[in-house]
């Protein structure tokens, strides 16, 4: 089983009862005001009861200025606390370690009054020092809200082209002030956010980060060597885990396709007490074992967990064969995929058979 059912102790003291994790999947099942939706609660709780020892929420917006899509979960105000508290309690009672992914959409915050970016551009406004101070304060306030709600930790979303990635990526960040230029300048905002959160929350509250370590979906100038150095800095800043957003969990860097897996390079660079999470095309037990062999301390499942909410229980059966998309809508409904997530999947070619929403 490659240790997939072994417990993992994070440096902050949180103990995770296994090495599998639910990815922070966008599911658009919250209410228009960001409060927890019943479909979202049911979706997450079903996967906790299905054996996932680590449950992450979707990317949850930390402020109205960072809100990126309809149905996005909010951690931006105290009005969000009742739903968050209920969700944290439900997931904890189901035996899972539950964390919230903290998110600011930046230039991709399509629902924001003003879209912040690194510099002025059509439809975007370059962030001022005052803006960045407010972003930092909003991340901290959101993290404290999550701790008050009873979650075990938070993950700062520094991946996939959102605000913090925009500052990290050379091709997105031509700034010449302290938040641009070399890697240290481009990493400054992310590091300050994590340092601020770590200083504000309790020592036993877990703090992690998700990174896009290389260029995959688009060309942003992200390179493995820089990202590995960033990982070292973030470990110094007190993170408990680093989560790599990849297309394939065992892939090598595009700039060095014959080199070691990206996960292997990170695992070698990080201190032993900083956990490494790796996501990317994990469908089978063999996929999960390969990710572990490449260096992952925790293996993160995304699409497989949509249709198999009990993957940690069924995947160890040698006869198990995962269902891959396109999926029939009745199968999604049976897996507690609500109408918001159905709509999200229907908008992506090749994900769903049929074309009408279903409430089961």
Confidence check: pLDDT of 54 > 70: yes
Q: How far is residue 237's CA from residue 299's CA, in Å, rounded to a whole number?
A: 23
Q: How far is residue 353's CA from residue 132's CA, in Å, rounded to a whole number?
A: 44
At 193, is the secondary structure helix, strand, or coil? Answer: helix
Structural domain boundaries in the chain: 8-317, 325-360
Tokens 């896009």, located at residue: 212
**pLDDT tens-digit map of 291-321:** 999 999 999 999 999 999 999 999 999 999 9
Q: Which helix (H) or strand (E) holds 352?
A: strand 352-353
Strands (DSSP E) contained in 73-204 are 97-103, 116-117, 125-126, 153-158
Q: How far is residue 134's CA from residue 164's CA, in Å, rounded to a whole number?
A: 14
Question: What average pLDDT score do residues 191-209 get?
Answer: 98
- Model confidence at 285, pLDDT cuts 50, 70, 90, reads very high
**pLDDT tens-digit map of 122-165:** 999 999 999 999 999 999 999 999 999 999 999 999 999 999 99
Q: In angstroms, how far apart are the furthest CA atoms of the chain? A: 57
Confidence check: pLDDT of 71 > 80: yes
Bridge partners, residue 260, by sequence: none
**pLDDT tens-digit map of 307-359:** 999 999 999 999 999 999 999 999 999 999 999 999 999 999 999 997 666 66
Tokens of 204: 């036993």
Q: How far is residue 285's CA from residue 335's CA, in Å, rounded to a whole number?
A: 20
Bridge partners, residue 208, by sequence: 155, 241
Tokens of 37: 């939706």
Domain 8-317: top CATH class: alpha beta
Tokens of 168: 């990290």
Q: How far is residue 14's CA from residue 273's CA, in Å, rounded to a whole number?
A: 12
Q: How far is residue 55's CA from residue 278's CA, in Å, rounded to a whole number?
A: 14
What pLDDT is stored for residue 217 in this prediction?
86
Q: How far is residue 150's CA from residue 85's CA, in Å, rounded to a whole number?
A: 6
Tokens 């938070």, located at residue: 154
Q: Which of 76, 59, 87 is nearest to 145 (CA)?
A: 76
Contact criterion met (CB below 8 Å) for 251 and 262? yes
Q: How far is residue 162's CA from residue 202's CA, in Å, rounded to a whole number?
A: 27
Contact criterion met (CB below 8 Å) for 213 and 242? no
**pLDDT tens-digit map of 11-31:** 999 999 999 999 999 999 999
**pTM to 2 decimal places:** 0.97
- Model confidence at 242, pLDDT cuts 50, 70, 90, reads very high
Residue 330: other Cβ atoms inside 10 A: 12
């Amino acid at each position: 089983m490659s240790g997939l059912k072994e417990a993992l102790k994070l440096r902050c003291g949180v103990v995770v009862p296994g090495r599998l994790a639910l990815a922070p999947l966008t599911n658009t099942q919250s209410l228009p005001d960001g409060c927890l939706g019943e479909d979202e609660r049911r979706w997450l709780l079903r996967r906790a009861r299905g054996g996932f020892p680590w449950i992450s929420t979707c990317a949850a917006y930390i402020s109205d200025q960072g809100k990126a899509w309809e149905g996005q979960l909010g951690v931006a105000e105290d009005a969000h606390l009742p739903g968050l508290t209920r969700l944290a309690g439900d997931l904890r009672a189901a035996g899972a370690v539950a964390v919230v992914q903290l998110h600011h959409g930046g230039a991709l915050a399509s629902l924001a009054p003003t879209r912040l970016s690194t510099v002025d551009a059509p439809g975007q406004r370059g962030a001022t020092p005052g803006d960045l101070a407010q972003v930092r304060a909003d991340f901290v306030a959101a993290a404290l809200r999550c701790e008050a709600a009873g979650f075990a930790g938070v993950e700062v979303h520094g991946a996939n082209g959102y605000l913090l990635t925009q500052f990290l990526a050379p091709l997105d960040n031509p700034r010449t002030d302290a938040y641009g230029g070399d890697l240290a300048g481009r990493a400054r905002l992310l590091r300050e956010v994590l340092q601020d959160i770590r200083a504000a929350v309790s020592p036993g509250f877990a703090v992690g980060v998700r990174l896009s370590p290389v260029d995959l979906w688009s060309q942003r100038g992200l390179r493995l060597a820089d990202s590995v150095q960033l990982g070292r800095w973030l470990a110094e800043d007190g993170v408990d885990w680093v989560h790599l957003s990849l297309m394939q969990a065992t892939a090598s860097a595009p700039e060095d396709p014959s080199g070691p897996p990206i996960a292997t390079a990170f695992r070698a660079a990080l201190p032993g007490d900083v956990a490494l999470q790796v996501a990317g095309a994990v469908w089978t037990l063999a996929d999960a074992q390969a990710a572990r062999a490449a260096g992952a301390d925790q293996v993160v499942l995304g699409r497989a967990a949509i249709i198999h909410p009990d993957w940690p229980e069924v995947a160890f059966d040698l006869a198990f064969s995962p269902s891959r998309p396109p999926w029939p809508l009745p199968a999604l409904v049976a897996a507690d995929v609500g109408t918001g997530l159905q709509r999200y999947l229907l908008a992506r070619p090749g994900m769903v058979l049929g074309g009408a929403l279903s409430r089961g």
